[in-house]
């Protein structure tokens, strides 16, 4: 049969993303490291998978119909995916975003016709001005509207159980030993992780957390503590415990700094030609921390959630790096990496 590479609509392109070997990281850790490139989704991020699944489920359950308004609280990527799907399917779309979301992301969402409401990042999750509370309030005020709620709707992790997990298993030909992904809602890690553990319980599932997050501490102590720092990372860490984080299947969390995450993403662009997003840098920085922890023959799969073009005014802007103070202080990561390059 001819392979025409022709599709009925843009949504048919969601998922089945490629995996690419990270040559330098494989050499340094004496393992095989493959990156699952979620920027190859039509909405250019991993979030296409969950937005599509949650909207399809809401349609099947009769919760939305043509003309409905879809509401979501999102740091940007889910917003883009929800806006893209809403445009294609004929829904109105309102997104509440944290004011730290990059301007690039906000402009892209608006280009798809969605309404964007900026909310303060500095308030706790249960504050009336938080992006969660605003989304919930709007869903109560606007008739025929539906709040997707990616943190609590189990359709999020289910999407990864049904698609990301099986793809990773198949692409690694069952050889995967470690799966490493950033955690925010926890959907990627928990859904794909559950599928992989069911296939082989020895597969290690590692989450990457930010300095402003409570996930790592909660995993280790079972107690909730307010985050002590802030973070410029988008899509890494949480100040609430989302229902989509399945702590039981996660073997460990690795905490990374904003600086190391920025430097790792920039390094990736310059050494592998892969221009990935800020959270992909976080995943790579975590792997760097763990580099002596692996055994020869290990098969690591890391998930890169989005593309670097969404962070041109952040990690790919030297002025921003300077303003954040990332170009001063310990150059350990850069220096070590310079060694690899030689």
* Three-class SS state of 200: coil
Our answer to whether residue 47 is catalytic in this structure is yes
Residue 174: what are its φ and ψ, rounded to 5°?
Answer: 75, 10
Binding flag, residue 185, ligand PMP (CB under 6 A) = yes
Q: How many residues does the chain have?
A: 342
d(CA 322, CA 318): 6
Could you tell me which stretch among 89-97, 105-113, 187-195, 334-342 binds ligand PMP (CB under 6 A)? 187-195
Nearer Cβ to ligand PMP (134/207): 207
> What is the rounded (10 degree) CA torsion for 174, 50, 21, 7?
100
Q: Which one of residues 43, 187, 193, 281 is an interface residue with ligand PMP (CB under 6 A)?
A: 187
Strand partners, 74: none
**Binding residue count for ligand PMP, defined by CB under 6 A:** 18
Binding flag, residue 165, ligand PMP (CB under 6 A) = no
Judge contact between 121 and 99, C-beta under 8 A.
yes
Judge contact between 268 and 274, C-beta under 8 A.
yes
Nearer Cβ to ligand PMP (165/187): 187
Binding flag, residue 277, ligand PMP (CB under 6 A) = yes
Binding flag, residue 235, ligand PMP (CB under 6 A) = yes
Binding flag, residue 133, ligand PMP (CB under 6 A) = no
The pairing of strands 19-21 and 252-255 is unpaired
d(CA 317, CA 311): 8
Could you tell me which stretch among 103-111, 168-176, 180-188, 289-297 binds ligand PMP (CB under 6 A)? 180-188
Could you tell me which stretch among 26-34, 96-104, 228-236, 248-256 binds ligand PMP (CB under 6 A)? 228-236
Binding flag, residue 305, ligand PMP (CB under 6 A) = yes
Binding flag, residue 287, ligand PMP (CB under 6 A) = no
Q: Which one of residues 69, 149, 231, 279 is an interface residue with ligand PMP (CB under 6 A)?
A: 279
Count of Cβ atoms closer than 10 Å to residue 291 Cβ:
15
d(CA 261, CA 136): 32
Q: Which two tokens stand for residue 319?
A: 């002025």
Strand partners, 117: 96
Count of Cβ atoms closer than 10 Å to residue 336 Cβ:
12
Nearer Cβ to ligand PMP (85/189): 189
Binding flag, residue 167, ligand PMP (CB under 6 A) = no
> 62 to 91, contacts with ligand PMP by CB under 6 A?
75, 77
* Three-class SS state of 197: helix
Strand partners, 33: 300
Binding flag, residue 186, ligand PMP (CB under 6 A) = yes
Nearer Cβ to ligand PMP (145/261): 261
Q: State the angle between helix axes of 258-272 and 278-289 in degrees (0 to 180), rounded to the nearest 10.
A: 100
Catalytic residue among 2, 24, 47, 339: 47
Shortest gap between Cβ of 157 and ligand PMP (angstroms)? 8
Give the residue numbers annotated as catalytic, written as ranges.
47
Note the residues at the interface with ligand PMP (CB under 6 A).
Answer: 47, 75, 77, 182-189, 234-236, 277, 279, 305-306
């Amino acid at each position: 049969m001819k392979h025409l590479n022709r599709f009925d609509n843009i949504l048919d392109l969601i998922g089945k993303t490629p995996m690419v070997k990270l040559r330098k990281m494989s050499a340094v850790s004496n393992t095989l490291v493959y990156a699952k490139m979620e920027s190859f989704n039509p909405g250019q991020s991993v979030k296409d998978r969950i937005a599509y699944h949650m909207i399809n489920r809401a349609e099947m359950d009769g919760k939305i119909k043509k003309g409905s308004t879809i509401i979501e609280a999102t740091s940007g990527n889910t917003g883009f995916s929800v806006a893209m799907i809403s445009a294609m399917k004929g829904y109105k779309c309102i997104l509440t975003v944290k004011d730290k979301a990059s301007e690039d992301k906000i402009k892209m969402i608006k280009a798809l016709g969605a309404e964007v409401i900026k909310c303060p990042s500095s308030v706790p999750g249960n504050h009336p001005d938080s992006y969660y509370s605003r989304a919930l309030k709007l869903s109560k005020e606007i008739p025929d509207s539906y709040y997707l709620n990616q943190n609590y709707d189990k359709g999020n992790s289910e999407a990864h159980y049904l698609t990301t997990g099986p793809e990773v298993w198949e692409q690694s030909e069952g050889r995967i030993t470690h799966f490493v992904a950033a955690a925010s809602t926890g959907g990627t890690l928990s859904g794909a992780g559950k599928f992989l553990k069911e296939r082989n319980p020895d597969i290690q599932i590692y989450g990457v957390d930010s300095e402003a997050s409570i996930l790592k501490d909660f995993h280790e102590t079972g107690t909730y503590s307010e985050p002590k720092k802030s973070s410029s990372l988008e899509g890494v860490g949480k100040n609430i415990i989302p229902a989509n984080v399945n702590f039981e299947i996660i073997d460990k969390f690795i905490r990374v700094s904003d600086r190391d995450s920025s430097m790792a993403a920039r390094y990736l662009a310059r050494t592998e030609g892969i221009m990935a997003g800020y959270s992909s840098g976080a995943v790579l920085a975590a792997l760097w921390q763990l580099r002596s922890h692996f055994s020869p023959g290990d098969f690591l799969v890391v998930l890169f959630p989005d593309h670097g073009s969404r962070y041109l005014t952040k990690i790919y802007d030297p002025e921003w790096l300077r303003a954040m103070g990332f170009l001063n202080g310990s150059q350990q990561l850069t220096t070590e990496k310079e060694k690899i390059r030689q």
